[in-house]
Chain A
Amino acid sequence: MDLLLSAASASFTPVTVAAILLGSIFGVIFGSIPGLTFTVAMALAVPLTFSLDQGAAIGLMLGTYIGGMTGGSVSSILLGVPGTPSAAATVLDGYPLAKKGQASLALGMAVAASAFGGIISLIVMVVSVDLVASLAMNFGPAETFALLIFGLSTICGLSEGSLVRGFIAGILGLMVMTVGVDAMDGVRRMTFGTVTLQQGINLLVAMLALFAVPHIIDAFVRHFQEERTTKQVKAVGVELPRLRDLGRNFWLMVRCSLMGTGIGAIPGTGGPVAAFLAYAHARKTSKNPQEFGKGSVEGVVAPESANNAVTGGAMIPLLSLGIPGDPGTALLLSALLIHGLVPGPMLFIESPDAIYGIYIAIILAYLFVFAFQVAGIRFFVQLLKVPPHVLAVAIVIMCGFGAYSVRNSVFDIYTVAILGAGAYGLMRVRIPLTPIILGVVLGPAIERDFRTAMILSDGDLSVFFSSAPAILFMGLTILIVGTQVGRSLISSFSPKTPGIGRNAPVSSEK
């Protein structure tokens, strides 16, 4: 109780509350503009946190994360274009509702379902995160290495169709983080005799390069190659659903929220999977399945409660084990590390007040996002009219200054430019970027724990199979990777591979 009070007193300072509010607004705006995903918002928000204290900094990042996950529904409903991949399923019924003149109702249901899903997932998170962390409390370097390797195995789920490309991406991410002075022996690695490379590639610099620069390049290219049209957005408000409407969808929201939380807790899955599964579940269990795709309220409620519940679910492995399951939590992890918080079981011993602070920040973020969407939607939908190339130029500045502010070094801006161009090139040849992020984030810890475990065991590799947690995580890793490799081999050797095109248009059948 003392810890909760202490966390509350730290969280309710004007600066922290303002930071959460700012992050929530920033996230909703970025989430609602198609193409500007919340991951770009989070990458750009990290430099803003440098001058803030720990609580305000984490609050800003959490607000951005939650706001971004929620904001995607706005353009899904009003424009028929998902603001974030997680909101793709909302298009299926949200946009038809808007075309029927019920945009306000659709937005209201989406806002209510999002807040509901978020709060349910928060409750599940609070209950389970402590339990998982207490189980992981006695982990040594071998167990931690096994756990991190298990986290890295989520690359299989993030490979976007090709396992080999996913593994290549993961290795490239790990390679980037070996540049600089080795933390254990003080040896210079891949520095080519330069002083600037000795400091290594900063995590945030890598994040900006991977998330923001490809977006800038793509927006610039589209400016010249696509028909320029001004998006037509009518004046719209949020019509909060009546209690009767909420009551009618209550159990659907509960089921979809729990589904979203569960899916979010599995690293490598994320919001889009949860939203489409929830949508399919809602249609299957609905009394009026024929209404789906034509403007069903259930078709908005289900994906919105599920994709927001993913946030709480994804926080479980992040906080308790230090494993980020998606790009959003990877960015959150990097921000936590920058501010001296190392997620994992030890965080619950070393900084329990920070954990409570995170819970409070999440609750406040949901309240702010809800209030902002209800009260401010008339104003912020106007931002959907801002031309993408103008926003892209603004991101150039945020990106350049953000990189500079990490270490007050122009070298970091040059690094962002070079790595960003490389990231764009990799995207063009279908090398997925998310596994690179995982490699970048988990790489240093994987190497450190592996080497420490090997030193402690005098080079005996069996140390990674000498305790129940290590065996469990190594076994799970082998199982996941083995299954995926096997599946990939089978599909490679089958004469003709039927399947879903990776960029097939979203339809209710998917």
Chain B
Amino acid sequence: MSERTPYQAEQRRDLVVGLVLLVLGIVWTGIVLATIPPGNYGIGPRAFPLWLGVGLVALSAILAGGAWLRRNGDGEDPGDSGLAGMGWPVFRMVVLVCLILAAYGFLMQRAGFLLATALTVAFSLWVVLGERRPFLVAGMAIGMSVGVWLVFGQLLGAYLPRGTWLPF
């Protein structure tokens, strides 16, 4: 069995993307029909979300259908997406970035803005990115916390959470 060309690999990927979006569109449309009332007068609150769901179903069917028809065809190499890496390491990094952001939000409420920021920066640099220059990590952690505190908290008067874990 011959190996897939980049063009054929792209068609396979489009097929998967189209099918995933098709399912999303069907689920969205179902939820819209089940939960949003049609409204009493004129075009109600249901109309737009419903049309969007139907539109997504139609367009993703076109994407998937086109990719299915071209799956064994020949065409130009689509080139890369401009983004780095592939596979598991990328997926791991997506999850890690999400977790870092979520943990930052969680910590901000509990430990307060300054500590949460310092911990998030230090964790991201030291643990996630493997940065081993202690002065850089400490400088960034303290610099970012104090810098944002100064600019947002003191200069612009924005609210910075104090947290509930520490008594001060």
Contacts and interface: CB of A to CB of B under 8 A. Distances in A.
Interface of A: 47-48, 50-52, 164-165, 167-168, 171-172, 174-175, 178, 182, 184-185, 187-190, 213-214, 216-218, 220-226, 389-390, 393-394, 396-401, 404-405, 408, 410, 413-414, 416-418, 420-421, 424-425, 427-431, 447, 450-451, 454-455, 458-459, 492, 496-499, 501-504
For A182, A222, A417, A450, the residue with the greatest tally of chain B CB atoms inside 10 Å of its CB is A417
Nearest to A179: B49
Contact of A405 (B48, B124, B158): B158
B136 A221 contact: no
17 contacts: A50-B158, A171-B56, A189-B32, A217-B93, A221-B83, A396-B120, A397-B121, A397-B144, A401-B113, A413-B104, A427-B82, A429-B81, A459-B43, A498-B76, A501-B77, A502-B78, A503-B79
Counting chain B residues whose Cβ lies within 8 A of the other chain, the interface size class is: 35 or more
B152 to A, nearest CB: 7
A486 to B, nearest CB: 15
Contacts of A172: 56
Contacts, number: 216
Contacts of A221: 83-85, 89-90, 93
Nearest to A443: B48
B135 interface: no
Contacts of A51: 152, 156-158
B52 A421 contact: no
B101 interface: yes
Contacts of B78: 430, 501-502
A503 B79 CA distance: 6
B79 A447 contact: no
Contact of B136 (A47, A390, A497): A390
B129 A220 contact: yes
Please classify the interface of chain B as helix (H, G, I), strand (E, B), loop, or mixed, using the class held by over half of its residues.
Answer: helix
B63 A225 contact: no
Contact of B101 (A214, A399, A431): A399
Contacts of B59: 164, 167-168, 171
A393 B129 contact: yes
B82 A223 contact: no
B61 to A, nearest CB: 10
- Per CB-CB distance, the 6 closest pairs between chain A and chain B, nearest first, are A413-B105, A503-B79, A51-B156, A417-B101, A182-B45, A410-B105
B159 interface: yes
A502 B48 CA distance: 33
A428 B83 contact: yes
Contacts of B62: 164
Given A51-B158, A425-B94, A190 B85 contact: no
A503 B104 contact: no
B142 interface: no
